[in-house]
Chains A and B, each alone.
Chain A
């Protein structure tokens, strides 16, 4: 029931408590962040392929610039894009409406979460303008490098000289962002448990709601030690404690453990929501129930638990006890098994279905293929500790994580966009532009990432601003691989402008939807108007069965909305 008077865009932007508006705010803010992160990638890749060139829109890239670009590219993409888009945006848009309720359990807390997120973005961007420049040293922030040149013997020049540094601002930005996500996680969890529509038991929820919640809980448990560790790093920088300083009784390896204890579960936090999105899209576009709903949930829970036991596979050569490394290697290889189960379940959903090769389906299948074949499988290479001795900190790792992250985070986000855009805006995204966008992205993503495997196997180490002084890395065809990767990356980045244009143009001028449910899907959001009203439903639905009843024998329609008896 909509009793609000029409507010201006900015008033709504800053003060609306509606979860859909808040989701949209997060999305716009993240679009800004990803533009910066993508721009940085463009600059440093141009520098890698053409080292002496003045990169258009940036200029000459020095070693310091290069370190700053790669560090902040990683930070922005992992922390703000991935976590923000897949938890905050997807969770905010989908959870209340898919469980058939009006809004989150705590709308004001939701609003505050966004404010904290915005503050984190401002702090992060401010870090680029600090007196000593933006942060370098890798997104993993390993001390002592991340503590800055404030070594044992550097005279202390006052608190301001330590506080107004990119090191401090980036860490504060991360603290604010984590707080925002923790608050959001509490909101999602309580909303999911408490505000489901009548008749919607937990096992009748769409699986994406399960995935977002498991991801939020996994986030919460894994981030705790890192929050403590971040405070400790801030103290090291600003006060001169020595938590990570070997000369002061501390240990740099401590940070590595704290960071990766979070960092590994984090990639599963990022992975789970897209897996959920893919499940919804694959099921709807195969006109078949999702195969193995409970099986998938069990496998996800197993993977979540295992994910907290594998973190030191990032530290095989870091100086940890080799016997411990063997344990982590075994667990890492084992974690491939639940994910294999999930992917096989998705494939089983496809078989004997009546597949509709729509745009969201293209993204979904592309994601499954690339993630499994080139991302997941190369995880086996890296999980084998002995091969990791060679591959660690080479471009092989960069290729591996781009093949796991990009298909899930980016393809998954696009799949969600092309699927749900018409629901939340009442207009369709342009299909032709969408197809061009998909094929170009698919081709040029592979053009960028695959050569990186070959470069890594040839021994190319990471985070190097200029490969020219290493003759073994200048032998053909390695420079050619770097150029192919760069040119593909640049075209890949340019291709995304097609989407940006499509998105904003279709918001105002896209073809209006003729039906509330163009995909003929079962879940509750499709049973209300496009866009949904404030409060989501004119009459709140009662749920009679699960979300995957497609092509049920006793029905004549090939789909059965959840609120249809």
Chain B
């Protein structure tokens, strides 16, 4: 049974790995906690008459065990952070050199994808706009300037494990590198009004030659 959609991006596998790392550790922890809760419950009738430990003094052994539990959790926590830190830096704080630079603009209720046009520069007069359908080449670093005209939207590409909110008044640059050809959904992950459920775009990843052909067709008009 597949849990995640197919991973088609360069950093997707790392994100999936973080999930499985945390889940495995947490599953082990859960088994322990379930045992700790159920054991006294199920053996309650066999309890010897409890000599209780009271507020001051006794209970030191249990306290040590509690601290041990906290320390183990802390170690697990830090292992998660150590593993996810570099990936976060890679995705959010670095920008590898781009092979393609586009703008992705959300508006109620569609996505605009803006190509730089024949001059190769965005925000010039010859930019070409496509609605709800994005073409990018495979194995290429794509820089996306994520913007919004009106309210807050969010660009979500599940197969790329990519997400970035689109805020009005800001342009946020993020990158993605898709590794498999195909057509993948691009949805809006921030409620933006009554058409939020209708904001659906597709991102088609093509081979280099197919992409050049697409671009030529796009720029011809």
Contact = CB atoms under 8 A, between A and B. Distances in A.
Direct contact of A and B (CB under 8 A): yes
Contact of A365 (B37, B69, B163, B167): B37
B191 interface: yes
10 contacts: A67-B194, A142-B151, A246-B167, A251-B169, A337-B77, A343-B33, A355-B47, A384-B81, A389-B15, A551-B52
Contacts of B127: none
Interface in B159-205: 159, 161-165, 167-170, 172, 185, 187-198, 200
Interface stretch (B23-31, B118-126, B212-220): B23-31
A146 to B, nearest CB: 9
B88 A357 contact: no
B165 A317 contact: yes
Given A145-B191, A291-B62, A384 B22 contact: yes
Contact of A330 (B37, B69, B81, B195): B81
Contacts of A467: 197
A549 B52 CA distance: 9
A63 interface: yes
B74 A337 contact: yes
Contacts of B62: 291, 348, 351
Given A252-B152, A347-B37, A458-B4, 9 more contacts: A136-B191, A293-B55, A351-B36, A353-B47, A380-B80, A384-B81, A384-B84, A390-B163, A549-B54
B44 A287 contact: no
A352 to B, nearest CB: 6
The 10 A-B residue pairs with the shortest CB-CB distance in the complex, in nearest-first order: A246-B169, A459-B158, A322-B92, A551-B52, A355-B44, A393-B189, A377-B26, A463-B191, A386-B84, A465-B197
A340 interface: yes
A347 B34 CA distance: 10
Interface string A504-547: 00000000000000000000000000000000000000000010
Interface string A304-334: 0000000000000111001101100110011
Contacts of B190: 142, 393
A461 B188 contact: yes
Interface in A421-477: 454, 457-459, 461-467, 469-472, 477
Contacts of B49: 354
Nearest to B4: A457
Contacts of B93: 322-323
Interface stretch (A38-46, A190-198, A231-239, A367-375): A367-375
A246 to B, nearest CB: 2
A482 interface: no
Given A246-B170, A323-B93, A393-B189, A380 B66 contact: no
A428 B205 CA distance: 66
Contacts of A466: 197
Contacts of A36: none
A380 B151 contact: no
A389 B163 contact: yes
B171 to A, nearest CB: 10
A360 interface: no
Nearest to B187: A461
A336 B88 CA distance: 21
Nearest to A70: B191
Given A354-B47, A384-B84, A389 B54 contact: no
A407 interface: no
Nearest to B195: A63
B209 interface: no
A251 B152 CA distance: 11
Given A389-B91, A462-B189, A551 B50 contact: yes
B52 A288 contact: yes
Given A344-B66, A470-B200, A553 B33 contact: no
A352 B3 contact: no
Interface in B1-49: 1, 3-5, 14-15, 18-19, 22-23, 26, 29-30, 33-34, 36-37, 39-41, 44, 47, 49
B133 interface: no
B173 to A, nearest CB: 11
B167 A319 contact: yes
B198 to A, nearest CB: 7
A289 B59 CA distance: 11
A365 B151 contact: no
Given A351-B40, A357-B44, A394-B189, A337 B158 contact: no
Contacts of B30: 373, 377
A399 B197 CA distance: 20
A261 interface: no
Contact of B151 (A144, A318, A384): A144
Nearest to B48: A352
A64 interface: yes
Contacts of B195: 63
B66 to A, nearest CB: 4
Nearest to A461: B189
B207 interface: no
